[in-house]
Amino acid sequence: MAKLVLIRHGQSEWNALNLFNGWVDTKLSDKGIQQAKDAGELLAQEGIEFDQAYTSVLTRAITTLHLALEEAGQLYVPETKSWRLNERHYGALQGQNKAEAAEKWGDDQVHIWRRSYDVLPPMLDSYDPEVTVQGKTYPAFDRRYADVPYGDLPLGENLKITLERVLPFWYSNIAKDLKAGKNVVIGAHGNSLRALVKHLEQISDDEILGVEIANGQPIVYDLDDDLSIVSKKVLTK
Ligand SMILES: O=C(O)[C@@H](CO)OP(=O)(O)O
Protein backbone atom coordinates (compact mmCIF):
# COMPACT_ATOMS: atom_id res chain seq x y z
CA MET A 1 0.00 0.00 0.00
CA ALA A 2 1.28 3.47 -0.90
CA LYS A 3 -0.01 7.01 -0.62
CA LEU A 4 -0.33 9.32 -3.58
CA VAL A 5 -0.94 13.03 -2.90
CA LEU A 6 -1.88 15.44 -5.69
CA ILE A 7 -1.54 19.17 -5.05
CA ARG A 8 -2.70 21.76 -7.55
CA HIS A 9 -0.55 24.88 -7.20
CA GLY A 10 -1.83 27.80 -5.14
CA GLN A 11 -3.52 30.71 -6.90
CA SER A 12 -1.25 32.15 -9.61
CA GLU A 13 -1.01 35.83 -10.52
CA TRP A 14 -2.88 35.01 -13.73
CA ASN A 15 -5.53 32.95 -11.89
CA ALA A 16 -6.13 36.11 -9.84
CA LEU A 17 -6.44 38.18 -13.04
CA ASN A 18 -8.72 35.50 -14.59
CA LEU A 19 -6.32 34.92 -17.51
CA PHE A 20 -5.66 31.58 -19.24
CA ASN A 21 -2.23 30.43 -17.95
CA GLY A 22 -1.43 27.21 -19.78
CA TRP A 23 2.33 26.95 -20.36
CA VAL A 24 2.98 30.62 -19.60
CA ASP A 25 5.26 30.61 -16.56
CA THR A 26 3.26 32.68 -14.08
CA LYS A 27 4.13 33.09 -10.40
CA LEU A 28 2.04 32.47 -7.28
CA SER A 29 0.03 35.40 -5.93
CA ASP A 30 0.30 36.21 -2.20
CA LYS A 31 -2.90 34.21 -1.70
CA GLY A 32 -1.34 31.32 -3.66
CA ILE A 33 1.75 31.36 -1.42
CA GLN A 34 -0.49 31.09 1.64
CA GLN A 35 -2.53 28.28 0.05
CA ALA A 36 0.69 26.35 -0.61
CA LYS A 37 1.83 26.74 3.01
CA ASP A 38 -1.63 25.71 4.22
CA ALA A 39 -1.39 22.58 2.07
CA GLY A 40 1.88 21.71 3.82
CA GLU A 41 0.32 22.24 7.23
CA LEU A 42 -2.54 19.90 6.29
CA LEU A 43 -0.06 17.25 5.15
CA ALA A 44 1.87 17.61 8.42
CA GLN A 45 -1.37 17.17 10.39
CA GLU A 46 -2.06 13.97 8.42
CA GLY A 47 1.43 12.76 9.32
CA ILE A 48 2.19 11.66 5.76
CA GLU A 49 5.88 10.93 5.11
CA PHE A 50 6.95 11.18 1.48
CA ASP A 51 9.63 9.18 -0.32
CA GLN A 52 9.49 10.97 -3.67
CA ALA A 53 8.16 14.24 -5.09
CA TYR A 54 7.28 15.14 -8.69
CA THR A 55 6.45 18.45 -10.27
CA SER A 56 6.24 20.21 -13.62
CA VAL A 57 8.77 22.67 -15.04
CA LEU A 58 6.47 25.63 -14.31
CA THR A 59 7.28 27.96 -11.44
CA ARG A 60 3.83 28.02 -9.82
CA ALA A 61 3.80 24.24 -9.33
CA ILE A 62 7.44 24.00 -8.24
CA THR A 63 7.04 26.82 -5.71
CA THR A 64 3.86 25.29 -4.33
CA LEU A 65 5.52 21.90 -3.88
CA HIS A 66 8.51 23.47 -2.13
CA LEU A 67 6.43 25.65 0.19
CA ALA A 68 4.20 22.72 1.11
CA LEU A 69 7.10 20.34 1.72
CA GLU A 70 8.93 22.98 3.76
CA GLU A 71 5.86 23.55 5.91
CA ALA A 72 5.59 19.78 6.37
CA GLY A 73 9.30 19.60 7.35
CA GLN A 74 10.13 17.44 4.30
CA LEU A 75 11.91 19.75 1.89
CA TYR A 76 14.65 17.10 1.69
CA VAL A 77 12.45 14.64 -0.24
CA PRO A 78 13.98 13.64 -3.62
CA GLU A 79 12.31 15.51 -6.45
CA THR A 80 11.97 15.06 -10.20
CA LYS A 81 10.59 17.67 -12.60
CA SER A 82 9.02 16.89 -15.96
CA TRP A 83 7.37 18.96 -18.68
CA ARG A 84 4.90 16.08 -18.92
CA LEU A 85 3.29 17.32 -15.69
CA ASN A 86 2.86 20.87 -17.09
CA GLU A 87 -0.55 22.50 -17.29
CA ARG A 88 -2.40 21.69 -20.52
CA HIS A 89 -1.23 24.06 -23.24
CA TYR A 90 -4.10 26.47 -23.88
CA GLY A 91 -3.02 27.41 -27.41
CA ALA A 92 -4.11 30.84 -28.61
CA LEU A 93 -6.24 31.32 -25.47
CA GLN A 94 -3.13 31.77 -23.31
CA GLY A 95 -3.00 35.29 -21.89
CA GLN A 96 -6.65 36.01 -22.72
CA ASN A 97 -9.17 36.96 -20.07
CA LYS A 98 -11.64 34.10 -19.42
CA ALA A 99 -14.66 36.41 -18.95
CA GLU A 100 -13.81 38.37 -22.11
CA ALA A 101 -13.40 35.10 -24.02
CA ALA A 102 -16.88 34.04 -22.82
CA GLU A 103 -18.33 37.35 -24.05
CA LYS A 104 -16.62 36.90 -27.41
CA TRP A 105 -17.33 33.21 -28.09
CA GLY A 106 -20.17 32.47 -25.62
CA ASP A 107 -20.18 30.77 -22.20
CA ASP A 108 -20.92 27.32 -23.64
CA GLN A 109 -18.04 27.37 -26.13
CA VAL A 110 -15.55 28.57 -23.53
CA HIS A 111 -16.77 25.97 -21.04
CA ILE A 112 -16.27 23.26 -23.68
CA TRP A 113 -12.74 24.52 -24.35
CA ARG A 114 -11.99 24.59 -20.64
CA ARG A 115 -13.54 21.35 -19.45
CA SER A 116 -14.31 18.97 -22.34
CA TYR A 117 -12.16 15.89 -22.89
CA ASP A 118 -11.41 16.06 -26.57
CA VAL A 119 -12.27 19.50 -27.99
CA LEU A 120 -9.15 21.48 -28.87
CA PRO A 121 -8.81 25.17 -27.97
CA PRO A 122 -7.88 27.60 -30.78
CA MET A 123 -4.31 26.57 -31.57
CA LEU A 124 -1.20 28.71 -31.96
CA ASP A 125 -0.11 29.03 -35.59
CA SER A 126 3.53 28.18 -35.07
CA TYR A 127 6.46 28.00 -32.71
CA ASP A 128 7.50 31.45 -33.90
CA PRO A 129 9.80 32.83 -31.14
CA GLU A 130 8.64 36.31 -32.08
CA VAL A 131 5.10 35.49 -30.92
CA THR A 132 4.61 36.68 -27.38
CA VAL A 133 1.76 36.26 -24.92
CA GLN A 134 1.55 39.31 -22.72
CA GLY A 135 5.26 39.88 -23.13
CA LYS A 136 6.23 36.24 -22.57
CA THR A 137 7.54 34.23 -25.52
CA TYR A 138 6.20 30.85 -26.57
CA PRO A 139 8.32 28.33 -24.66
CA ALA A 140 9.46 26.15 -27.56
CA PHE A 141 12.81 27.91 -27.45
CA ASP A 142 13.04 28.05 -23.67
CA ARG A 143 15.98 25.95 -22.52
CA ARG A 144 13.84 24.09 -19.99
CA TYR A 145 12.35 22.28 -23.03
CA ALA A 146 15.69 21.61 -24.70
CA ASP A 147 15.41 17.84 -24.22
CA VAL A 148 11.84 17.62 -25.55
CA PRO A 149 11.64 16.34 -29.15
CA TYR A 150 10.51 19.27 -31.27
CA GLY A 151 7.38 17.50 -32.53
CA ASP A 152 6.24 16.80 -28.94
CA LEU A 153 5.95 20.49 -28.08
CA PRO A 154 2.28 21.46 -28.32
CA LEU A 155 0.66 24.40 -30.08
CA GLY A 156 -2.43 23.78 -27.95
CA GLU A 157 -3.88 20.76 -26.10
CA ASN A 158 -7.19 19.30 -25.01
CA LEU A 159 -7.43 17.09 -21.92
CA LYS A 160 -7.05 13.93 -24.02
CA ILE A 161 -3.72 15.06 -25.45
CA THR A 162 -2.66 16.23 -22.00
CA LEU A 163 -3.40 12.76 -20.59
CA GLU A 164 -1.52 11.13 -23.47
CA ARG A 165 1.65 13.07 -22.60
CA VAL A 166 1.24 12.65 -18.82
CA LEU A 167 0.80 8.86 -19.00
CA PRO A 168 4.30 7.91 -20.29
CA PHE A 169 5.80 9.69 -17.26
CA TRP A 170 3.21 8.15 -14.96
CA TYR A 171 4.22 4.66 -16.06
CA SER A 172 7.98 5.26 -16.32
CA ASN A 173 8.34 6.96 -12.92
CA ILE A 174 5.36 7.57 -10.67
CA ALA A 175 3.55 4.22 -10.95
CA LYS A 176 6.86 2.38 -10.43
CA ASP A 177 7.50 4.26 -7.19
CA LEU A 178 3.99 3.60 -5.93
CA LYS A 179 4.25 -0.10 -6.77
CA ALA A 180 7.50 -0.18 -4.79
CA GLY A 181 5.50 1.09 -1.78
CA LYS A 182 6.84 4.68 -1.90
CA ASN A 183 4.64 7.58 -0.79
CA VAL A 184 4.56 10.10 -3.62
CA VAL A 185 3.53 13.75 -3.79
CA ILE A 186 2.86 15.49 -7.13
CA GLY A 187 2.76 19.29 -7.34
CA ALA A 188 1.08 20.14 -10.63
CA HIS A 189 -1.83 21.90 -12.34
CA GLY A 190 -5.62 21.97 -12.64
CA ASN A 191 -5.73 20.13 -15.94
CA SER A 192 -2.66 17.89 -15.77
CA LEU A 193 -4.12 16.66 -12.46
CA ARG A 194 -7.64 16.33 -13.93
CA ALA A 195 -6.08 14.10 -16.57
CA LEU A 196 -4.37 11.98 -13.92
CA VAL A 197 -7.52 11.82 -11.77
CA LYS A 198 -9.52 10.71 -14.84
CA HIS A 199 -7.06 7.88 -15.40
CA LEU A 200 -6.81 6.83 -11.74
CA GLU A 201 -10.53 7.00 -10.99
CA GLN A 202 -11.56 5.74 -14.45
CA ILE A 203 -13.85 8.74 -14.97
CA SER A 204 -15.72 8.77 -18.29
CA ASP A 205 -15.09 11.33 -21.03
CA ASP A 206 -18.48 12.95 -20.24
CA GLU A 207 -18.16 12.96 -16.45
CA ILE A 208 -14.76 14.63 -16.53
CA LEU A 209 -16.51 17.86 -17.60
CA GLY A 210 -17.79 18.26 -14.03
CA VAL A 211 -14.47 17.59 -12.25
CA GLU A 212 -12.65 20.56 -10.74
CA ILE A 213 -9.38 20.54 -8.77
CA ALA A 214 -9.05 23.33 -6.18
CA ASN A 215 -5.88 25.35 -5.64
CA GLY A 216 -3.77 24.08 -2.74
CA GLN A 217 -6.12 21.36 -1.47
CA PRO A 218 -4.18 18.08 -1.30
CA ILE A 219 -5.98 15.01 -2.68
CA VAL A 220 -4.79 11.97 -0.76
CA TYR A 221 -5.19 8.46 -2.21
CA ASP A 222 -4.36 5.17 -0.56
CA LEU A 223 -3.51 2.79 -3.40
CA ASP A 224 -3.15 -0.98 -3.29
CA ASP A 225 -0.40 -2.93 -5.03
CA ASP A 226 -2.07 -2.79 -8.45
CA LEU A 227 -2.74 0.94 -7.92
CA SER A 228 -6.48 0.55 -7.38
CA ILE A 229 -7.92 3.17 -5.05
CA VAL A 230 -8.51 1.97 -1.49
CA SER A 231 -9.51 5.39 -0.16
CA LYS A 232 -9.52 9.04 -1.19
CA LYS A 233 -9.85 12.25 0.75
CA VAL A 234 -9.38 15.93 -0.01
CA LEU A 235 -7.67 17.96 2.73
CA THR A 236 -9.10 21.42 3.38
CA LYS A 237 -8.51 24.07 6.03
O1 LIG B 1 -5.51 29.01 -16.89
C2 LIG B 1 -5.21 27.81 -16.87
O3 LIG B 1 -4.19 27.33 -17.38
C4 LIG B 1 -6.19 26.83 -16.22
C5 LIG B 1 -5.91 26.59 -14.77
O6 LIG B 1 -5.64 27.73 -14.06
O7 LIG B 1 -7.47 27.37 -16.37
P8 LIG B 1 -8.83 26.56 -16.45
O9 LIG B 1 -9.33 26.41 -15.06
O10 LIG B 1 -9.70 27.46 -17.27
O11 LIG B 1 -8.59 25.26 -17.14
Structural domain boundaries of the chain?
A: 2-234
The answer for 54, left when phi > 0, alpha when psi is -120 to 50, beta otherwise, is beta
- For residue 2, which phi and psi values (nearest 5 degrees)? -135, 160
143 is in an annotated binding site: no
How many A from CA of 183 to the centre of ligand 1? 27
For the chain, which residues score pLDDT lower than 70?
A: 128-140
Q: How far apart are the first and last CA of the chain?
A: 26
The residue type found at 19 is L
With CA atoms as reference, report the closest residue to 92 among 115, 106, 113, 116.
113
ipTM score of the complex?
Answer: 0.96
23 lines ligand 1 (CB under 6 A): no
The residue from 70, 79, 87, 189 that is catalytic is 87
Cα–Cα distance for residue pair 118/208, rounded to 1 Å: 11
pLDDT at 40: 98
Thinking of the domain 2-234, which architecture would CATH place it in? 3-Layer(aba) Sandwich (3.40)
Q: Report the residue among 8, 9, 13, 15 best suited for mutation to probe ligand 1: largest number of ligand atoms under 8 A from its CB.
A: 15
pLDDT at 199: 98
pLDDT tens for 18-67 read 999 999 999 999 999 999 999 999 999 999 999 999 999 999 999 999 99
pTM score: 0.95
Q: Give the residue whose CA is nearest to atom 8 of ligand 1.
A: 114
Q: Report the residue among 58, 114, 120, 197 best suited for mutation to probe ligand 1: largest number of ligand atoms under 8 A from its CB.
A: 114
How far apart, in Å, are the Cα atoms of 82 and each of 41, 47, 56, 169? 25, 27, 5, 8
**3 state SS of 111:** helix
Angle formed by the axes of helices 30-46 and 59-71, to 10°? 40
Helix (H) or strand (E) holding 87: none
Cα–Cα distance for residue pair 144/162, rounded to 1 Å: 18
Buried b (16+ CB within 10 A) or exposed e, 127-165: eeeeeebeeeebbbebeebeebeeeebbbbbbbbbbbeb
Dihedral (CA of 49, 51, 57, 59) sign: positive
pLDDT at 77: 98
Residue 103 designated active-site: no
* Half-sphere exposure for 20 (CA within 13 Å, toward CB): 28
94 lines ligand 1 (CB under 6 A): no
Residue 111 designated active-site: no
